[in-house]
Amino acid sequence: MAFKNTSRWTFSNVLPVVFVLGIIGMIWWTYVTCHLLGLHRSEVHERTHMNLVEAIVSQTLVILMLICFVRAVCTDPGSVPDTDDWTGKTGSRTGASSEPQVPIAPPCHEVKQNGERRFCNKCTKYKPDRCHHCRVCNSCVLRMDHHCPWIANCVGFRNHKYFLLLVFYSFVNCCFIGISMGGTVLGSMEEEMDLAFRFALVFGMTLTMVMGGLLGSFLGFHTWLTCQALTTIEFCEKSSTFSRSISYDQGLFENIRAVLGPRVFLWLLPVSPPSGDGLTFFVHGEFKAFPTQDEVHALLSSKPEEDSSAAAPEVTGAKAAAV
């Protein structure tokens, strides 16, 4: 399923992305010209081993950060398939009067408070567990975390890893630049240099520290959410009694694998996204909100006359378990 959505590329949505690239470019330019190359100095600066190490490390971090940025922006976060079982064309979602009365959509655990299956009227599809509709992207997004204006994209099942790594490498970059450029900034207070370079150094350092502080808190929050098997939306919905009854927690290691992918040695690289289809998830305290396809067929073949009431006991049971 391709990422067909083009409505997100409006001027107002692109502006924050350009802003982020501008900040990255500004800090990078300051670091390279004023710190690594020392262009602000009147005499030729002697290159040291440390200079070379700093250049290699900082540019590697920048490249990793930019790859994560591009992948977070361009990767489809995941949408609901166009197949009949998700569009509901072969079943009834309300169990009202049309045939067959039992919903055919794949099983899920999250249902509405009245026991009905979650259905998106805009996409005209059933919503799998953890899926939400994004008004900006105008699409239902699998395991939606939030819509991020800075990448003009939703953070969902397929690009969550790239988003997390983007925040991680941005934070590490800020820390590395802040520590390695600190001496140059302090030195600029005593050295003779062009005022523009001095301003660039102080401004670049201030920007780096502010961004580092913001990214550090954001990274801490998202790391905690990942360890708890929560998305930002689920964290915000925690006050709801209904939502609290469902937990996707599989233990620390599996929770991290569910976001960073199955191979531990590739966790910090922008490759190897998590396995799975983003439609079904491990649920703590397994209970069924709706019957599976096999159960539907078994039910229909064994009790042909009772089809009009077949969905009711399952829904009631799920509702009772959820509340």
Which residues are known catalytic residues?
148
Angle at 293 between CA 306 and CA 121, to 5 degrees: 90
Q: Which stretch binds Zn ion (CB under 5 A): 131-139, 192-200, 208-216, 280-288?
A: 131-139
Task: Confirm or reject binding of residue 120 to Zn ion (CB under 5 A).
Answer: yes
Of the residues 61, 64, 108, 134, which one makes contact with Zn ion according to CB under 5 A: 134
Least distance from Zn ion to the Cβ atom of residue 214, Å? 21
Q: With respect to Zn ion, which residue has the nearer C-beta, 61 or 137?
A: 137
Task: Confirm or reject binding of residue 246 to Zn ion (CB under 5 A).
Answer: no
Least distance from Zn ion to the Cβ atom of residue 133, Å? 3
Q: How many CB atoms lie within 10 A of CB 76?
A: 20
Q: β-strands 119-120, 146-148: how paired?
A: unpaired
Residues in contact with Zn ion, total (CB under 5 A)?
A: 10
Of the residues 147, 158, 160, 161, which one makes contact with Zn ion according to CB under 5 A: 147
Whole-Å CA distances, 86 to 35, 83, 270, 277: 56, 6, 30, 14
- What single-letter DSSP state applies at residue 37? S
DSSP result, 43-66: SPPPP-HHHHHHHHHHHHHHHHHH
Q: Which stretch binds Zn ion (CB under 5 A): 138-146, 179-187, 230-238, 267-275?
A: 138-146
Q: Which residues contact 193 (CB under 8 A, 6 or more apart)?
A: 40, 41, 42
Q: With respect to Zn ion, which residue has the nearer C-beta, 87 or 223?
A: 87
Of the residues 55, 70, 136, 202, which one makes contact with Zn ion according to CB under 5 A: 136
Residue type, 148: C
Task: Confirm or reject binding of residue 155 to Zn ion (CB under 5 A).
Answer: no
Interface residues with Zn ion (CB under 5 A) are: 120, 122-123, 133-134, 136-137, 140, 147, 154
